[in-house]
Structure 1
Amino acid sequence: MDNEKIKALKSAFPHTIPIAAGFLFLSLSYGILMSSKGFSVFYPICMSAFIYAGSMQFASVNLLLSAFNPLAAFILTLMVNCRHLFYGISMLNKYKDTGIKKLFLIFGLTDETFSINVSVDVPDEVDKGWFMFFVTFLNYMYWLLGTIVGSLLGKYITFNTEGIEFVLTALFLVIFINQWLVAKSHTSAIIGVISPIICLAIFGSENFMIPSLILILAIFFIFRKKVE
């Protein structure tokens, strides 16, 4: 590894430490959950390696145990992960001119990775493309490592796993609170909270996700200058 990559790795690593704490616990819980449902170690490991979609991986546990229904699986996946469409749009300029690294950057774009790459001011002496790559890679490895350990331990650990999926919700809440504390303006956060509440009241808990995202996007588009 040349000096440019080593410098980017050293710069990226400290920013991923808080994510490591959350990801290792979450993926450990996911691996244990999958094992408790009777899946072999290869299922959760392959899903973390090739799918790498935390909240959807938790949701997929019940899908894998339910009757075959590809349409329901597609709709659920769209509802859970469609937020990445908005992440992707906002990262177009960030990922520009990153070369072959862009493929992994797109694959590894998660809420937490997005939060770091979109907000951190990369030092001038550090290559921004490699910085974002190592943030993405390290977070990916944390998730994969936790899944492997959880899958192996799950065969020997037995306890009531009811409610374990909530750890992902807890992590999102912590990220939101952190962003609230460091942000100078809370307009975007308020819009992001109020819009789902309105859509929840109108469309119900089963159908509010996509309308919420559409409403948030519409508000940001209409009032983008004031929000900026």
Structure 2
Amino acid sequence: MQEQIKALKAAFPYTLPVMTGYLFLGMAFGILLNSKGYSFKWAIFMSIIIFAGSMQYVAIELLTVAFDPLNAFFMTLMVNARHLFYGLSLLGKYNEAGKKKLYLMFGLTDETFSILCATETPAEIDKGWFMFFVTFLNHSYWITACALGGILGSLVSFNTKGIDFVMTALFVVIFINQWKSQKHHAPALIGISASVICLLIFGAQNFIIPAMGLILITLGFYRKPFEKEAEKCYLPSNSHSS
């Protein structure tokens, strides 16, 4: 138990910025979901089961139209395709987590990825439990914020026009933070260029998967020049053991 408590205390400070962001994003989701006639219980349920902010916003629209499972599947794949790349880059770290790896894979979000990618586990802290509590705390923040938004939406009337723009703002902030934290910006520029090209060719509704594929091919082609820089972020550190 002492080991888990130490890991929780070590993880908590790193998740505070996420808690602040999730408070507004989650409440916006809860309010928007409530405006469509769904109670805060649905906000909690979706946050526990789905735990994907952008997809939960999309799911609100899917709940208000005729049921189309094939369309829902492809929409989910396009919206969350980036997590395939996140997961691949964290395989080395997650292999050290034992049975906790399953929850870590489920709970991987943009914000959790950023923390785990940019943070070294503090000395004398178990890496697996540290990653677990970073993920668990972020998940807890999201569930709580969505529930609060659903409750608030049922008590106060809101004009929800434009409220779904918060996810776009979040991705912009994440990109800016990642840009500032890295010395070499070639991978980011490749990502932007590939996305713009695919957007022009395939349109706004269908560009995500082709863009991800083009990014993967391009980065694979230039793998060696980027390899040393990428290892600093993705490969597990051997500086301390648990």
Percent sequence identity over matched residues? 56
Give the TM-score normalised by structure 2: 0.91
Alignment of 1:179-194 (within 5 A): 179-194=178-193
Retained in 1: the 8 A contact 2:96–2:127? no
The one-letter code of the counterpart of 2:176 is I
**Amino acid of the residue matched to residue 190 of structure 1?**
L
User: Over aligned residue pairs, what C-alpha RMSD do you find?
Assistant: 1.0
Deviations 1:5-61 (A, max 9, x none): 122111111111111111111111111111111112222110001111110000011
Matches within 5 A, 1:167-206: 167-206=166-205
Q: Provide the TM-score with structure 1 as the length reference.
A: 0.96
Q: Which residue of 2 aligns with 1:218?
A: 217
Aligned residues: 227
Separation in structure 1 between the aligned mates of residue 150 and residue 158 of structure 2, nearest angstrom: 14
Task: Say if 2:165 is the partner of 1:142.
Answer: no
* Cα drift, residue 3 of structure 1: 2.1
**Structure 1: any 5+ residue segments left out of the alignment?**
none
- Give the equivalent residue in structure 1 for 2:31: 32
The SS at the match of 1:100 is: helix
Inter-partner Cα distance in structure 2 for 1:184 and 1:46: 40
Structure 1 ranges of 4+ moved more than 3 A: none
Code of the residue aligned with 2:155 in structure 1: it is Y
1:18 aligns with 2:14: no
> Offset of 1:132 from its aligned partner?
0.5
Amino acid aligned to 1:107 = F
Match of 1:77 in 2: 76
SS in 1 for 2:142: helix
Question: 1 CA distance for matches of 2:41 and 2:141?
Answer: 17
User: Does 2:69 align with 1:88?
Assistant: no
Q: Summarize deviations over 1:140-194 as a string: whole Å, max 9, x none.
A: 0000000111111111121211111111111111111111112111111111111
In structure 1, C-alpha distance between the alignment counterparts of 2:200 and 2:61, rounded to whole Å = 26
> Partners of 2:50 and 2:177 in 1: how far apart?
27
Structure 2: runs of 5+ lacking an equivalent: 228-242
By how many angstroms is 1:72 displaced? Answer: 1.0
The superposition leaves residues 83-136 of structure 1 with CA deviations (integer Å, 9 ceiling, x where unpaired) of: 111111111111013122111101100011011112211122111111100100
